[in-house]
Structure 1
Amino acid sequence: MKAPFSVGGAISRASALQDIRGLIDSHVSETTKSTGFFKLWLSDMAQLSELFCTILDTSYIGFWLGSRRGCRRYHTDNVPFRMLVTYAGSGTEWLPKHAIDMCAFKRGEPNEKIIKDISARRFLNPWDVAVLRGGPDGLLHRTPDDALDVPSIFMRLDHPEFLAKVQARS
């Protein structure tokens, strides 16, 4: 977490552990790689990747892991489904339907106008796993204020459709 990083790519259900290790290898110190924690963490990311492939009934998914987050405004993701896990730092903030002014959201209003009841905000804890539906009926969520300008470790798994769109733009 000392140096900002961002890695991403395709993860195959059949080789998730090897694929993730290959993507993050150059971003992790040898000291960290030799710990039992690192092995546990890699295993967790691989198992979640395999599970997400199973949920989506696909042989691969898009994987992103990074230390900086910047989704300040409440939003829904432009993907059919997304899996999120914050491994270090504050977890994703989300709103239940009753706490949202959807008209304000659709008009592009700021967060203060979107949220009708600030006490209704919910937060994922570190290591919580969330599978979010995207699109117009998706869950409204954002990066919490206290995670915007500090490092965290955040994993995002995406539907293969999204990965294909990202790769097409590159």
Structure 2
Amino acid sequence: MSLALETSAGSVAADVFMGRDADILTEIASPGVAAAIWQRTPEPGFQSWIDGLGKDQLPDLRTVVPVHLAEAAVITACETSGLKASPERDVLASDIGALAVMMAKILAVDHVRLRLDVADEVMCPKFHIDRVPARLLCTYRGSGTEYVPLGSEAGPKRIRRVKRGAAALFRGTLWDTDETTGILHRSPEVTPEDGPRLLLVIDPVA
């Protein structure tokens, strides 16, 4: 059942769908859905590994690639940062590659824009909607992205947080329907306890 709101400007997609199966991400194309979140729990060994890395070892990446080269681009970024080959590094690269393939399939594109942001301060502190058709976010280290219904930004009790390791697909302002996106998101605070945050961002490229 959709919770899309009717306004004078048309309908507003306000639903957030969550599930433990990757197919939940395809729900982003359903009427009334502003975000779809694939709930995942990182394997403890992988999480301990990535949490123990120094900031300079975390891969920093900005590139546009054919979707089948996304995994290779991450491996190159890891090598550039001095992150030595290991089973955990392979897990990181293959996971990002798989998420890129899913995103590209859902949005029907052949290329994606990949970003791995390493940050020890808040990057986007204000709630916003991205100027893209859709954006996939996955926090591998640190606190997950926060989101809130449009118009509820001032109500702390309405704010929710994507869990670390979960893949969240948010509609942007360029989503190709008559619906307005009714879910905003922002970066969380970065705490000294968590250390630098590592965030994956994937955008479709037409």
TM range (shorter): 0.7 to 0.9
> Normalising by the residue count of structure 2, what TM-score does the alignment of the two structures yield?
0.62
Alignment of 1:1-170 (within 5 A): 1-3=54-56, 6-30=60-84, 33=85, 35-68=86-119, 69-97=122-150, 100-101=151-152, 114-115=153-154, 117-135=155-173, 137=181, 139-146=183-190, 150-160=195-205
Point out the structure with the larger helix share: 1
Identity of aligned residues (%): 24
Post-superposition Cα deviations, 1:132-162, rounded to whole Å, max 9, x if no partner, equal: 111162521111124699511100001215x
Distance 1:19 1:5, change over 3 A: closer
Deviation at 1:14, TM superposition (A): 2.5
- Contact 1:53/1:59, CA 8 A, preserved across alignment: yes
What is the alpha-carbon distance in structure 2 between the residues aligned to residue 86 and residue 29 of structure 1?
Answer: 18
Deviation at 1:118, TM superposition (A): 1.2
What is the alpha-carbon distance in structure 2 between the residues aligned to residue 14 and residue 145 of structure 1?
Answer: 33
What is the alpha-carbon distance in structure 2 between the residues aligned to residue 60 and residue 94 of structure 1?
Answer: 27
What is the alpha-carbon distance in structure 1 between the residues aligned to residue 114 and residue 142 of structure 2?
Answer: 19
Structure 1, unmatched stretches of 5+, are 102-113, 162-170
> Normalising by the residue count of structure 1, what TM-score does the alignment of the two structures yield?
0.74
Distance 1:147 1:10, change over 3 A: farther
- Contact 2:59/2:78, CA 8 A, preserved across alignment: no
Point out the structure with the larger strand share: 2
Return the letter of the residue paired with 2:199: F
What is the alpha-carbon distance in structure 1 between the residues aligned to residue 71 and residue 91 of structure 2?
Answer: 11
Q: Which moved more, 1:72-81 or 1:14-23?
A: 14-23
- Contact 2:190/2:197, CA 8 A, preserved across alignment: no
Deviation at 1:7, TM superposition (A): 1.5
Distance 1:29 1:6, change over 3 A: closer
CA-based RMSD? 2.3
Return the letter of the residue paired with 1:6: D
What is the alpha-carbon distance in structure 2 between the residues aligned to residue 16 and residue 84 of structure 1?
Answer: 15
Return the letter of the residue paired with 1:90: S
Distance 1:19 1:145, change over 3 A: closer
